[in-house]
């Protein structure tokens, strides 16, 4: 029976295939008591399994590269957390087996996070995956993961851990659907980087029977269950037509009447550069530098190491624009040598620029490395600070850039409502703004970006979020400065038109989304985009906002 389910589309494209369910999670180990003499052996088993899982995660990250590498290295650090391991060994000492001790220690830490309002829900999902991998190794059972198949399929799961998503083979996994997750979760971001169609936060997804044919539309968020052969043929035909349109759209980003909208790439390191170049990116709109600092959580990398890596990226865009975000540590990206040990609400605490201002030597080292990496290159280098709240923050960052002798434009990210509301004041100190719509939505709606239950409030089509975008772009225009978007909102082709209509001057996204956005922009005039932007802001919900903009752009 042909039925339609609706979730949140997080990665463009259409996938049609049979359902294969994710391997089941590791079962709860039995609570068997061991003797005191067995404890040292069990503690050693636990340590070896923890180390093996951490090494496996690091190896997977090395294979995947880019954003995936940073995510998996963070997971490896989680596996090796000394407090967790100490808790495991204490439990073994009082009679638990290694596998039971790991299970209970991780459960205790999980409960602690959940008890804090699931603020770090994304970390909880990663924690569960680490636990399952360690316990599976100790019990000698198959590791939970992507099922084996001799033909392509659509993967369905309650949720996907980064370790699974990072190494998905697009030739085998046509697309994926999850019951949990949100548009800015780790797996959603990695799906876009891979170019795999994906829908998340789809209630009842795991109830679809193994082997059922489904059609996944990663743009609209719809999943057709058991579509007829005629419907499958129609969807496949539309997908081919869409691909042909993408292939035909070349050159710089622009509306049909020639209004230029530079299309830039979000990257996590040198491994992401080739995909960005191949997609025709006109530069880099967000160069995340966190991955460099995850190699060793106890100290910052040397200036020489940083400069070498930065230059690899700069040389790929010798005459283009490269926007570097300085280290964004804290919240879900803690670093031992920077992040406070305990905060009641980390994402509302010391993170981003706040962390760097508390540790000026780290900021100065990074700025010096950027200056060294850019020497002799004709690129347009821009450097921006994350989590800027007001003019004082912007002034402090601009001052640090001047002290470092950095010959680059200095800007800030708009990720909290205060920065959007007071954008004109902030722009008295810096030369550009870049809207990070993921965090801006999180802080505007008090909705954790990793929690699927509040994903509707993370929808970048929310009119209140578009109002804040408009405030920032109007301020930038009044000051004669630029205001781009580097959040995931830019990856939605329809929303890209709306953002252009609201005055956004550049759009930065994962490389896989650039052709979709380029082709869609090229179909519409600037005036149409402006009318679509006004219609979207006039709506009262994210759903109505999208419908209103779509009606304008389709000429209805």
Determine how β-strand 222-225 pairs with β-strand 3-6: antiparallel
Known catalytic membership, residue 186: yes
What secondary structure letter does DSSP report for 38? Answer: G
How many CB atoms within 10 Å of residue 362?
21
Q: Which residues contact 150 (CB under 8 A, 6 or more apart)?
A: none
Q: What are phi and psi of 217, to 5 degrees?
A: -105, 105
Q: What is the dihedral of CA 322, 370, 271, 320, to 10 degrees?
A: 20
Three-class secondary structure assignment of 329-345: CECCECCCCCCCCCCCC
CA angle 269, 274, 278 (to 5 degrees): 140
d(CA 439, CA 528): 28
Cα(first)–Cα(last) distance of the chain, in Å?
32
**DSSP assignments along 412-479, one per residue:** EEE-SHHHHHTHHHHTTT-SEEEE-HHHHHHHHHT--TT-GGGGGGG-TT-HHHHHHHHHHHHHHHHH
Rounded Cα–Cα distance for residues 258 and 245 (Å): 18
* β-pair partners for 413: 434
Question: Alpha-carbon distance 169 to 131, whole Å?
Answer: 24
Query: Which two tokens mark 103?
Result: 């299970």
- Stated as kind and residue range, the H or E segment containing 500 is helix 493-501
Q: Catalytic residue among 12, 186, 401, 410, which?
A: 186
Question: Out of 401, 410, 486, 529, which one is annotated catalytic?
Answer: 486
Q: In this structure, are residues 291 and 271 in contact, taking their beta carbons and an 8 Å threshold?
A: no
Taking the C-alpha atoms of residue 309 and residue 337, their distance in angstroms, rounded to an integer, is 21
Instruction: Dump the DSSP string for 371-407.
Output: HHHHTT---EEEEEESS--SHHHHHHHHHHHHHTT--
Q: Which residues are part of the catalytic machinery?
A: 186, 486
């Amino acid at each position: 029976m042909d039925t339609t389910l609706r979730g949140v589309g997080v990665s463009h494209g259409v996938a049609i295939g049979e359902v294969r369910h994710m391997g089941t999670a590791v079962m709860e180990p039995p609570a068997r008591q061991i003797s005191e003499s067995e404890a040292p052996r069990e503690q050693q088993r636990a340590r070896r399994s923890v180390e093996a899982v951490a090494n496996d995660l690091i190896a997977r990250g090395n294979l995947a590269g880019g954003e995936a590498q940073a995510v998996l290295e963070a997971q490896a650090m989680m596996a090796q957390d000394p407090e967790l391991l100490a808790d495991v060994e204490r439990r073994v000492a009082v009679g638990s087996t290694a596998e039971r001790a790991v299970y209970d220690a991780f459960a205790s830490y999980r409960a602690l996070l959940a008890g804090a309002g699931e603020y770090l829900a994304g970390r909880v999902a990663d924690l569960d995956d680490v636990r399952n991998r360690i316990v599976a190794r100790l019990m000698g059972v198959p590791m939970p993961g992507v099922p084996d198949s001799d033909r392509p399929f659509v993967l369905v799961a309650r949720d996907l851990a980064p370790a699974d998503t990072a190494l998905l083979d697009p030739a085998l996994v046509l697309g994926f659907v999850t019951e949990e997750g949100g548009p800015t979760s780790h797996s959603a971001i990695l799906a876009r980087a891979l170019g795999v169609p994906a829908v998340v936060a789809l209630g009842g997804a795991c109830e679809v029977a193994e082997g059922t044919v489904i059609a996944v539309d990663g743009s609209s968020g719809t999943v057709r269950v058991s579509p007829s052969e005629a419907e499958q043929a129609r969807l496949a035909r539309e997908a081919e037509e869409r691909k042909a349109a993408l292939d035909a759209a070349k050159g710089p980003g622009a509306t049909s009447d020639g209004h230029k909208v530079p299309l830039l790439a979000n990257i996590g390191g040198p491994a992401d550069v080739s995909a960005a170049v191949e997609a025709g990116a006109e530069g880099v709109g967000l160069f995340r530098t966190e991955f460099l600092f995850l190699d060793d959580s106890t100290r910052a990398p040397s200036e020489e190491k940083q400069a070498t890596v930065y230059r690899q990226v700069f040389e790929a865009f010798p005459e283009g624009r490269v926007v570097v975000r300085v280290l964004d540590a804290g919240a879900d990206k803690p670093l031992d040598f920077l992040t406070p040990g305990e905060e009641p609400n980390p994402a509302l605490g010391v993170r981003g620029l706040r962390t760097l201002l508390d540790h000026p030597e780290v900021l100065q080292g990074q700025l010096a490395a950027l200056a060294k990496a850019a020497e002799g290159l004709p690129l347009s280098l821009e450097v921006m600070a994350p989590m800027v709240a007001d003019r004082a923050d912007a002034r402090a960052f601009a001052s640090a850039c001047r002290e470092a002798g950095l010959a680059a434009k200095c800007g800030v990210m708009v990720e909290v409502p205060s920065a959007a509301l007071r954008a004109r004041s902030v722009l008295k100190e810096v030369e550009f703004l870049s809207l990070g719509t993921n965090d801006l939505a999180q802080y505007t709606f008090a909705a954790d970006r990793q929690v699927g239950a509040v994903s509707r409030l993370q929808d970048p089509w929310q009119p209140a979020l578009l109002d804040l975008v408009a405030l920032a772009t109007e301020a930038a225009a009044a000051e004669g400065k630029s205001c781009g978007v580097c959040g995931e909102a830019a990856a939605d082709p329809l929303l890209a038109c709306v953002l252009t209509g609201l005055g956004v001057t550049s759009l930065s996204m994962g490389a896989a989304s650039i052709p979709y956005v380029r082709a869609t922009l090229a179909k519409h005039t600037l005036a149409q985009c402006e009318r679509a932007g006004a219609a979207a802001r006039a709506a009262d919900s994210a759903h109505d906002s999208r419908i209103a903009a779509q009606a304008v752009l389709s000429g209805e």
